[in-house]
């Protein structure tokens, strides 16, 4: 797991292995051309830097079928190479994270194989992107859960391998919950089929009859490519009461298309954080909403008036900032219902809870923004806008816990953020931009602090790692669960979380005996003696985290106490 210097370039792939790859997928669909490979190594998003490159793959292959994926994986096993699957590839999660990785680009496996209207599921290949799946399912009165990376990303990647929450989770749940039958190429090249698919009964159930390994295949957050390659899966669909082929005018803020019957967008404001948490939880428990979330006022500003936030006058606009902050306890509800009665019921519940908690709500049609909000959220067409104001963004925190703990933790997040804004490290979005949304009728709630910065500016890039460490520290102090994707941190925190790392590693050894999957983000071991970054802020935070981890550690027989 050694890094090969600042440019992270592995030695070239051997001719014999390359020839085998060519035979497996056809010479046209393999490359080892350095400039082409670098298209997979440039990954500025979720990259802890300081460079924006990850490891350059030694080759990229474009398989067209499960059999070809299987052949590629077997070749990697034969030649002692690693492999990593990539779909859209938006973020360092998808690029190689160690040496000698063959990147398996799944673009040629992009079909929608079946839409089962009656049983409400769709069967997809990896590169059928969210926008395509949505367009086809909407024609049949059904909708697909899409995470907030939006319409470009792969529903299969999200469901099988990578997190899975989104504002539509209020109605369409977590990606992993929507996962039904799966076809999976294990890291040793064996193909297994899960759930009903494994017993020859079709795609409709992920848990059998037939092998049920849903927990193993992705755990809570996903294995980020570290458990092999998923080649097909079935995903649960939900009701779509709108038109079968919605075609708005415009692309983003210029979006124009009437709201469908019985559909609305509301914004509600509360006097304080507690009433926001109470009211929105109560509303969500009742099953209200199609897309619902607490936007940050700051995030809205980054989208609507990005230039303002770079100006000196904004920094000094003390009262304007305070005035904007006064609207921070807000919540957006997009309603899409089948009938006037249902809409009336949903509105009544909202009105009731909002007034009980001292808030007020507004039909967004009065603001002229209802159509834009409704359609860009329903079509997931808005998300890349996060990159407009500064060029890059990361999510600090990014946690999923109970709604109250998430909402009530956000002041701490805001404080950390403000500190780094004051140091000039990140874009000044008023530090009030915490985003929340709920899944599973509010049993899980997501919180994240988007941090916008210019990754082309080394002064800003340098701040990102310390900021992330500080957020991790806060999580640890609050005993929150954390999705840890670095081997060093996993080693530190494994003992605080039931030694999950050992279980994970144990499973890894069974399904990947030759260690061929690039599992850096999932269960790779830290490299002994790997130098820590020399940034004092990072070192200080690492020590603090180690302290906390020691205090919270269990023994292998149970808690320390």
Ligand X SMILES: Cc1cc2nc3c(=O)[nH]c(=O)nc-3n(C[C@H](O)[C@H](O)[C@H](O)COP(=O)(O)OP(=O)(O)OC[C@H]3O[C@@H](n4cnc5c(N)ncnc54)[C@H](O)[C@@H]3O)c2cc1C
| Contact status, residue 102 vs residue 58, Cβ threshold 8 Å | yes
For residue 167, give every residue at least 6 positions away whose Cβ sits within 8 Å of its Cβ, in sequence order, or none. Answer: 148, 291, 292, 293, 377, 437
Q: Which position among 86, 336, 416, 476 is part of the footprint of ligand X (CB under 6 A)?
A: 86
Q: Which stretch binds ligand X (CB under 6 A): 13-21, 149-157, 335-343, 410-418?
A: 149-157
Which H or E run includes 217? helix 214-218
**Which of 97/264 has CB closer to ligand X?**
97
For residue 346, give every residue at least 6 positions away whose Cβ sits within 8 Å of its Cβ, in sequence order, or none. Answer: 288, 289, 335, 337
Q: Which stretch binds ligand X (CB under 6 A): 79-87, 270-278, 541-549, 551-559?
A: 79-87
Q: Which of the listed partners (ligand X, another protein, none) does 126 bind, with a CB threshold of 5 to 8 Å by partner kind?
A: ligand X
Both tokens assigned to 137: 């399912």
Comparing CA positions, the residue from 185, 77, 81 lying closest to residue 125 is 185
Asked if omega into 385 is within 30° of 0 (cis), the reply is no
**Which of 62/406 has CB closer to another protein?**
62
Q: Which of the listed partners (another protein, ligand X, none) does 455 bind, with a CB threshold of 5 to 8 Å by partner kind?
A: another protein
Q: Which of the listed partners (another protein, ligand X, none) does 164 bind, with a CB threshold of 5 to 8 Å by partner kind?
A: ligand X
Q: Which position among 76, 93, 128, 541 is part of the footprint of ligand X (CB under 6 A)?
A: 93
To another protein, the closest distance from the beta carbon of 190 in angstroms equals 26
**Between the CA of residue 279 and those of 170, 285, 337, 434, 448, what are the distances in Å?**
15, 10, 21, 17, 20
Q: Is 147 in the site for ligand X (CB under 6 A)?
A: yes
Q: Which of the listed partners (another protein, ligand X, none) does 450 bind, with a CB threshold of 5 to 8 Å by partner kind?
A: none
φ/ψ of 109, rounded to 5, equals: -105, 85
Q: Which of the listed partners (another protein, ligand X, none) does 392 bind, with a CB threshold of 5 to 8 Å by partner kind?
A: another protein
Comparing CA positions, the residue from 296, 303, 282, 345 lying closest to residue 324 is 296
**Which of 382/496 has CB closer to ligand X?**
382
For residue 182, give every residue at least 6 positions away whose Cβ sits within 8 Å of its Cβ, in sequence order, or none. Answer: 160, 193, 194, 195, 197, 206, 214, 217, 230, 232, 233, 234
Q: Which of the listed partners (ligand X, another protein, none) does 268 bind, with a CB threshold of 5 to 8 Å by partner kind?
A: none
Q: Is 96 in the site for ligand X (CB under 6 A)?
A: no
| Contact status, residue 143 vs residue 246, Cβ threshold 8 Å | no
Q: Is 517 in the site for ligand X (CB under 6 A)?
A: no
**Which of 58/288 has CB closer to another protein?**
58
**Between the CA of residue 546 and those of 64, 90, 246, 495, what are the distances in Å?**
46, 31, 52, 11
Compute the residue count for the chain.
561
Q: What strands, in cross-sheet order, belong to the sheet with 435-439?
A: 392-401, 444-453, 435-439
Q: Is 377 in the site for ligand X (CB under 6 A)?
A: no
Q: Which of the listed partners (ligand X, another protein, none) does 60 bind, with a CB threshold of 5 to 8 Å by partner kind?
A: another protein
To another protein, the closest distance from the beta carbon of 138 in angstroms equals 9
Q: Are strands 229-236 and 121-124 parallel, antiparallel or unpaired?
A: antiparallel
To ligand X, the closest distance from the beta carbon of 165 in angstroms equals 5
CA distance 301 to 76: 47
Give me the residues that bind another protein (CB under 8 A), please. Answer: 7, 9, 29, 31, 33-36, 38-40, 42-45, 52, 56, 60, 62, 88-91, 105, 107-108, 112, 128-129, 131-136, 150-153, 245, 247-248, 250-252, 255, 306-307, 310, 375-376, 379-381, 384-385, 387-392, 454-456
Q: Which stretch binds ligand X (CB under 6 A): 85-93, 342-350, 405-413, 414-422?
A: 85-93
Q: Which position among 121, 171, 203, 230 is part of the footprint of ligand X (CB under 6 A)?
A: 230
To ligand X, the closest distance from the beta carbon of 42 in angstroms equals 13
Site for ligand X in 439-498 (CB under 6 A): none
For residue 382, give every residue at least 6 positions away whose Cβ sits within 8 Å of its Cβ, in sequence order, or none. Answer: 150, 252, 376
φ/ψ of 552, rounded to 5, equals: -90, -5
Note the residues at the interface with ligand X (CB under 6 A): 45, 84-91, 93-94, 106, 126, 147-149, 153-154, 156-158, 160-166, 224-225, 229-230, 383, 386
């Amino acid at each position: 797991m050694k890094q090969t210097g600042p440019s992270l370039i592995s030695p070239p792939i051997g001719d014999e292995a390359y020839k085998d790859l060519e035979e497996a997928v056809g010479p046209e669909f393999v490359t080892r051309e350095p400039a082409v490979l670098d298209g997979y190594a440039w990954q500025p998003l979720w990259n802890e830097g300081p460079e924006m490159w990850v490891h350059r793959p030694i080759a990229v292959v474009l398989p067209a079928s499960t059999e070809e994926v299987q052949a590629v994986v077997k070749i990697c096993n034969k030649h002692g190479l690693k492999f990593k699957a990539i779909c859209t590839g938006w973020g360092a999660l998808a690029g190689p994270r160690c040496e000698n990785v063959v990147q398996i680009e799944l673009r040629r496996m992009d079909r929608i194989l079946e839409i089962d209207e009656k049983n409400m599921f769709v069967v997809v290949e990896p590169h059928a992107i969210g926008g395509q799946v949505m367009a086809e399912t909407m024609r049949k009165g059904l909708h697909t859960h899409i995470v907030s990376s939006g319409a470009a990303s792969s529903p299969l990647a999200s469901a099988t391998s990578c997190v899975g929450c989104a504002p539509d989770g209020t109605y369409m749940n977590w990606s992993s919950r929507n996962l039904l039958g799966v076809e999976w190429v294990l890291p040793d090249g064996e193909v297994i089929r899960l759930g009903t698919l494994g017993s020859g009964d079709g795609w409709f159930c992920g848990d059998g009859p037939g092998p049920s390994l849903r927990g193993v295949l992705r755990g809570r957050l996903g294995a980020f490519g570290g458990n092999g390659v998923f080649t097909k899966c079935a995903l649960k669909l939900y009701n779509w009461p709108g038109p079968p082929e919605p075609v708005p005018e415009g692309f983003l803020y210029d979006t124009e298309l009437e709201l469908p019957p019985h559909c609305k967008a509301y914004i509600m404001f509360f006097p304080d954080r507690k009433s926001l948490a109470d009211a929105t939880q109560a509303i969500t428990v009742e099953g209200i909403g199609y897309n619902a979330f607490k936007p940050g006022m700051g995030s809205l500003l980054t989208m609507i008036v990005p230039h303002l936030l770079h100006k000196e006058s904004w920094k000094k606009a003390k009262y304007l900032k305070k005035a904007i902050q006064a609207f921070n306890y807000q919540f957006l509800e997009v309603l899409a219902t089948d009938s006037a009665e249902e809409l009336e019921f949903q509105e009544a519940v909202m009105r009731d809870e909002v007034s009980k908690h001292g808030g007020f709500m507004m039909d967004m049609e009065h603001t002229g923004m209802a159509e834009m909000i409704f359609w860009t959220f329903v079509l997931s067409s808005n998300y890349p806008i996060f990159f407009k104001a500064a060029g890059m963004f990361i999510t600090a925190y990014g946690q999923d816990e109970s709604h109250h703990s998430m909402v009530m933790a956000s002041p701490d997040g805001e404080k950390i953020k403000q500190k780094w804004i004051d140091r000039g490290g990140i874009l000044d979005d008023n530090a009030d931009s915490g985003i929340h949304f709920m899944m599973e009728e509010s049993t899980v709630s997501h919180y994240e602090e988007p941090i916008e910065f210019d990754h082309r500016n080394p002064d800003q890039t340098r701040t990102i790692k310390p900021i992330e460490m500080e957020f991790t520290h806060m999580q640890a102090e609050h005993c929150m669960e954390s999705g840890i994707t670095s081997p060093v941190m996993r080693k530190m925190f494994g003992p605080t979380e039931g030694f999950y790392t050992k279980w994970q590693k144990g499973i890894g050894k069974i399904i990947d005996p030759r260690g061929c999957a690039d599992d850096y983000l999932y269960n790779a071991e830290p490299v002994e003696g790997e130098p820590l970054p020399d940034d004092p802020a990072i070192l200080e935070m690492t020590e603090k985290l180690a302290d906390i981890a020691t205090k919270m550690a269990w023994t292998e027989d149970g808690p320390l106490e």
